Structure 1
Amino acid sequence: MPEKKCLECGIAFKGRADKKFCSDQCRSAHHNVLNSDVTSYVRNVNNALRRNRRILDSLNPGGKIKVTAARLKEEGFDFRYHTSTYKTRDGVIYYYCYEQGYLPIEKNYYLLVLKQDLFQ
């Protein structure tokens, strides 16, 4: 049987034929390094989505309000990220960050809405 070496630290070890790491620590360290860039990207996107939702929620306590694009940007809103869209029969597109939504209306104005069907 050929000698196996740990993929993380290179130490020789004995064990099952399909075993690749000498310990749980080496296995975890190896996979953490492999997934760190993906994990970092996902974490950054999720943080942006949560921030967007929090901003929409704070600016829209009544469920429907008109705000300026400048106000959204001032609060730190990132228009690149949303969780879903809804297209009406008229072709109007609402953008949602979870249950909080926004609709571009006039130039530099947005209508903030709350997706009501989630609460019924």
Structure 2
Amino acid sequence: MKTPTCPECGDKIIGRSDKKFCSDACRNAYNNKQNKTSTNYMRNINNKLRKNYRILSEYNFEGKTKVNRLKLLSAGFDFEYITQIVTYKNGSQYFFVYEQGYKILDNEWLLLVKKTTE
């Protein structure tokens, strides 16, 4: 039977027969290399979502409030990054970043809302 080698460093693997890496360091290094390209893209998007969530939470601490669109923009809110769009039966459309959301009103005003969890 051929002795398995570590896919990261090439050393012989000693121990259990189903072991794939010689050490935790090699396992971590290998997996970090595999995920690096997609991780940067996802990290950037998640950072924007996290920032949007933080801004909505700061302005909507009561659960429902009106705020001017320019106020969110000046705080760094990016309207391109949301997690969900909900359209209700009455036709009103809400944009959510996780459970924090907003509805576009007239004259640059937004209604900030918070989804209630069940």
Number of the residue aligned with 1:10: 10
**Mapping for residues 69-88 of structure 1, pairs under 5 Å:** 69-88=69-88
- Large movers: runs of 4+ above 6 Å: none
**Mapping for residues 27-66 of structure 1, pairs under 5 Å:** 27-66=27-66
How much has 1:102 moved relative to structure 2?
Answer: 0.5
How much has 1:34 moved relative to structure 2?
Answer: 0.7
Are the aligned partners of 2:13 and 2:20 in contact in 1 as well (CA < 8 Å)? no
Tell me: CA distance 1:91–1:30, structure 2 relative to 1, closer, same or farther (3 Å).
same
- The SS at the match of 1:5 is coil
How much has 1:14 moved relative to structure 2?
Answer: 4.7
How much has 1:48 moved relative to structure 2?
Answer: 2.3
Distance 2:100 2:22 in 1: 48
How much has 1:19 moved relative to structure 2?
Answer: 3.9
Tell me: CA distance 1:26–1:106, structure 2 relative to 1, closer, same or farther (3 Å).
same
Output one character per residue of 1:35-90: Cα deviation in whole Å (capped at 9) or x when no partner.
22333333333332222122112222343333232221110112222233321112
- The SS at the match of 2:70 is helix
How much has 1:16 moved relative to structure 2?
Answer: 5.3
Unaligned ranges ≥5, structure 1: none
Tell me: CA distance 1:113–1:14, structure 2 relative to 1, closer, same or farther (3 Å).
closer
Tell me: CA distance 1:18–1:68, structure 2 relative to 1, closer, same or farther (3 Å).
same
Number of the residue aligned with 2:24: 24
Q: Provide the TM-score with structure 2 as the length reference.
A: 0.76
Distance 1:35 1:103 in 2: 36
- The SS at the match of 2:77 is coil
Identity of aligned residues (%): 46
Q: Provide the TM-score with structure 1 as the length reference.
A: 0.75
Distance 1:21 1:46 in 2: 30
